[in-house]
Amino acid sequence: MQRARRYERADRCYQFGAAVPSSKIKCSRRSRERSHASLQHPHREKSEILYDEAQLHCEVLAQEHGYRYIHSGNEPLLIAGVATETLEMLQDEPDLQVLIVPIGGGSGAAGASIVAGAINPAIRVIGVQAAASPAAYESWRQGHLIEAPNRTLAEGLATGHAFELPQTILRQMLDDFFLVSEEEILQAVVWLIERAHTLAEGAGAASLAGAYKMRRELKDKKVGIVCSGGNVSLEQLKRALALS
């Protein structure tokens, strides 16, 4: 909602002749058309390449043209921004005992760990990543950055290598980290539709998949799950519903 409002303000500035900074956005081909549509603006130049290629291309553009490159993980202001979702959760439910966060690059989980640690260090922060794209998990487990196969259907979790800044934070502050299968993610998409009337993409449903996987350990605890993203495709939705 806040992002939509920012776009709306920028569009109004453009309509009334105010200066709006131009931007270049590099999108993965796998990201959803709905996401692409939300990025359309007269002062935005958008192109589509693979995610890891997009990152490298942005770094080259930043060096060649002096652009301000906003990295998807190694960006302190981004981590601070996504950390506000945890702050709001704890303001609404201050007695949460466990917080489960999906991890792709790790910025969201890094922010969650910082906020939870500052407000109540007793809160356990647990990360969940797709087993088909385990770069962040393996980097956290092994203690150094690695590359790994990147095959998950959940675009928000689809990273082939880990990012230094989130990993530095996660190694110090994340309490635990689990992998979930593609089938577990799709099943969680269905559960969110059936029981919470919420349409989530795979990355958004991964936290629920992780919570179910840990259900015995979480019994009688107050748990918060981060459900981030609703850009599920019809093909993915059909595949998920076929499991039910």
- Does one domain contain both 54 and 80? no
d(CA 222, CA 229): 23
Classify residue 70: in a domain, yes or no: no
> Among the three residues 39, 65, 91, which one is the final residue of a domain in this structure?
65
Task: Check: CB of residue 221 under 8 Å from CB of residue 95.
Answer: no
Classify residue 185: in a domain, yes or no: yes
Which pLDDT belongs to residue 33? 53
The sheet with strand 223-225 has its strands ordered as 176-180, 124-130, 98-102, 223-225
Classify residue 223: in a domain, yes or no: yes
Q: Which of 126, 222, 135, 110 lies closest to 176 in space, CA to CA? A: 126
Which pLDDT belongs to residue 66? 87
Which pLDDT belongs to residue 57? 84
Classify residue 144: in a domain, yes or no: yes
- Does one domain contain both 41 and 86? no
Classify residue 126: in a domain, yes or no: yes
Which pLDDT belongs to residue 58? 82
d(CA 132, CA 182): 7
> Among the three residues 21, 42, 65, which one is the final residue of a domain in this structure?
65
- 176 beta partners: 126
pLDDT 10s digit of each residue in the chain, 244 long? 444 444 343 333 333 333 435 556 655 555 555 554 544 544 445 455 556 677 778 888 888 888 888 888 899 999 999 999 999 999 999 999 999 999 999 999 999 999 999 999 999 999 999 999 999 999 999 999 999 999 999 999 999 999 999 999 999 999 999 999 999 999 999 999 999 999 999 999 999 999 999 999 999 999 999 998 898 999 999 999 998 7
Instruction: Please tell me the total count of domains within the chain.
Output: 2
- Does one domain contain both 53 and 146? no
- Does one domain contain both 106 and 200? yes
CATH number, domain of 167, equals 3.40.50.1100
d(CA 181, CA 189): 13
Q: pTM of the predicted model, to two decimals?
A: 0.78
N-terminal to C-terminal alpha carbon distance within the chain: 31
Q: Which of 186, 183, 207, 163 lies closest to 51 in space, CA to CA? A: 163
- Does one domain contain both 82 and 56? no
- Does one domain contain both 90 and 171? yes
- Does one domain contain both 203 and 130? yes
Q: How many angstroms from the chain centroid is the CA of residue 44?
A: 22
CA dihedral for 50, 51, 54, 55, sign (positive or negative)? negative
- 49 beta partners: 28
Structure tokens at 219: 């019994």
- Does one domain contain both 88 and 209? yes
Which pLDDT belongs to residue 44? 45
- Does one domain contain both 84 and 61? no
Classify residue 24: in a domain, yes or no: yes
- Does one domain contain both 100 and 210? yes
- Does one domain contain both 112 and 232? yes
Classify residue 71: in a domain, yes or no: no
Which pLDDT belongs to residue 27? 55
- 136 beta partners: none
- Does one domain contain both 25 and 115? no
Which pLDDT belongs to residue 53? 74
Classify residue 220: in a domain, yes or no: yes
> Among the three residues 44, 65, 86, which one is the final residue of a domain in this structure?
65
Give the domain range for residue 120: 76-242
